[in-house]
Structure 1
Amino acid sequence: MQLANKCILVTGASGGIGSALCRQLEQQNVSLIMNCFRANQLKSTQLSLEKPHTTVIADVSTVEGRQQIVTACAQKGGIDGLINLAGIMDFSLFEKQDVSMIEKTLAVNTIAPILLCHELLPQLLLKPEAFILNVGSIFGSIGHPGFSVYCASKAALKTFSEALSRELADTAVSVSYIAPRATSTALNTDRVNALNAALGNKSDSPDYVARQIIRSLRKDERQRFLGWPEKLFVKINALCPSIVHGALVKKLQTIKQFTNP
């Protein structure tokens, strides 16, 4: 897929991956519509770009916020691409997790991107070539202790993307899913960073993940999983989950040391 001269909506544009992705998309001669929840969070992204782009300060998890986004896209003549990147993560033992955080995680990570796809699909279908890219996580394919709800939210997004890709196969709209592993962004709390260090987990840079997103789009890939050995574990977990189960259970006490008290 050629990205030049396309109008692309990026949700979560103020985050580490979002900011890097917007910079790299601009280099592809893309017209951006950048969304985030708070205006001050988007300022650094705007300052890093060479020219002004459309911004929409709105909460993707609310009806009003999504309507603002849809309206802004329509005012630009419709979008050619939707990148659902906005997301939150809470590292907690499920039994101690706050109910409001469970609801918020599912609202932002799962319900919001699904509804944005639904609300923006009419615009995308009018284009000769268009795409939806949903950004998930390796944890959407590997259930990891301490991240139960986050894993569930990304697993749902993965399966939704797969189904919608097949449903729209006879249209000009492609649907893809990319799953980064741990990435060095503010999404990771100090406890998560300490856990990754204790377990020997590697992290990718936001710039690297952004490059992989663009590469995946240009190659028209339906799915891409990032990181080694994580993408190997995805395959093993699909074929023989007991192996991954055993490996993670051995690390359970270490994981519990870093969860919320």
Structure 2
Amino acid sequence: MQLSTSRFLMTGASGGIGQAMVAQLCAGGAQLLLVGRQSAALQALAQQFPGQIQLAFADLRERQGRDAVLAAARDFGDLNGLINLAGVNQFALLEHQDDEAIADMVALNVTATLQLTRRVLPLLRQQANALLVNVGSTFGSIGYPGFAAYCATKFALRGFTEALRRELADTHVKVLYVAPRATQTSMNAAAVVELNRQLKVSMDDPQAVARQIVRAIECEREELYLGWPEKLFVRLNSLLPRMVDQALRKQLPLIQRFARIKP
């Protein structure tokens, strides 16, 4: 898809990857409708790229928030892309998480994404060429200790993407799935950063991640998994899950120690 003719509705723009993507999409000439609750961060982006950005302030976890975004998308006009980037995580052993934290992850990472997509899909179908981009995670393919609830939401997003791509196979709407690995953003607690350092797990720069996602959008690439050896582990986990079990079992004592650290 040519960025100069793109009109995207984008969630999660105030995050590290999101802000980098906004800059790169705008540099290519795209028009963006940004959705979020953090007005200061979104307003700063709008001021940085005048004439290319419109804002919609809403809580996607609430039905009225999703309805407000749909109204804004209709006013935006000629929408030919939806980028689902909004999400939250929490690094903790499952038995140490409370109901509210788990419910919040499911509400934003899964329910809000599905419900917003359902609302926006008829607008995308009106275009001769349209893209739906779901930004997932390596943890949508590999269940990882300390992220059980988060993994559940990202596995759900990956399955949703796969099913919807097949559901829309006879339309002009193409469905893309991008799975970053660990990235240097504020979403990661200090314990996660230190755990990755001790395990020698690389964390990508958000600018580099954004470049790869934007490139996938331009090429309309259906699936993209970022990072090595994470790409290999995704494939191994699908073919030889017991091998991955054994590798993670060796890491488990260290993961458990960091997962017990209060943020």
Q: Please indicate, yes or no, whether the TM-score normalized by the shorter chain is above 0.5.
A: yes
Runs of 4 or more consecutive aligned structure 1 residues displaced over 6 Å after TM superposition: none
Task: Tell me the residue number matched to 1:25.
Answer: 25
Where in structure 2 are the equivalents of 1:144-155 lying within 5 Å? Answer: 144-155=144-155
Give distance in 2, aligned partners of 1:216 and 1:173. 15
Give distance in 2, aligned partners of 1:190 and 1:24. 28
Where in structure 2 are the equivalents of 1:137-176 lying within 5 Å? Answer: 137-176=137-176
Give distance in 1, aligned partners of 2:86 and 2:116. 11
Give distance in 2, aligned partners of 1:192 and 1:48. 32
2:60 partner SS: coil
Task: Tell me the residue number matched to 2:42.
Answer: 42
> Is 2:95 aligned against 1:95?
yes
> Is 2:251 aligned against 1:251?
yes
Where in structure 2 are the equivalents of 1:1-261 lying within 5 Å? Answer: 1-49=1-49, 51=51, 53-261=53-261
Instruction: Output one character per residue of 1:152-181: Cα deviation in whole Å (capped at 9) or x when no partner.
Output: 100110011011011101100001110000
Give distance in 2, aligned partners of 1:89 and 1:49. 29
Unaligned 5+ runs, structure 2: none
Letter in 1 for 2:119: E
Give distance in 2, aligned partners of 1:195 and 1:41. 29
Give distance in 1, aligned partners of 2:3 and 2:57. 24
Contact 1:14–1:44 (CA under 8 A) maintained in structure 2: no
Give distance in 2, aligned partners of 1:101 and 1:14. 21
1:177 partner SS: strand
Contact 2:9–2:81 (CA under 8 A) maintained in structure 1: yes
Taking structure 2 as the reference length, the TM-score comes to: 0.96
Contact 2:30–2:52 (CA under 8 A) maintained in structure 1: no
CA RMSD of aligned residues (A): 1.2
Unaligned 5+ runs, structure 1: none
How much has 1:47 moved relative to structure 2? 4.2
Give distance in 1, aligned partners of 2:113 and 2:163. 14
Instruction: Output one character per residue of 1:50-96: Cα deviation in whole Å (capped at 9) or x when no partner.
Output: 54510111111111111111111100114110000000000010011
1:4 partner SS: helix
Q: Which moved more, 1:41-50 or 1:121-130?
A: 41-50
Give distance in 2, aligned partners of 1:16 and 1:48. 16
Give distance in 2, aligned partners of 1:235 and 1:69. 37
Instruction: Name the CA shift for 1:78/1:148 in 2 (closer, same or farther; >3 Å).
Output: same
1:248 partner SS: helix
Instruction: Output one character per residue of 1:197-219: Cα deviation in whole Å (capped at 9) or x when no partner.
Output: 11111011111111111111122
How much has 1:42 moved relative to structure 2? 2.2
The number of residue pairs the alignment matches comes to 261
Contact 2:31–2:52 (CA under 8 A) maintained in structure 1: no
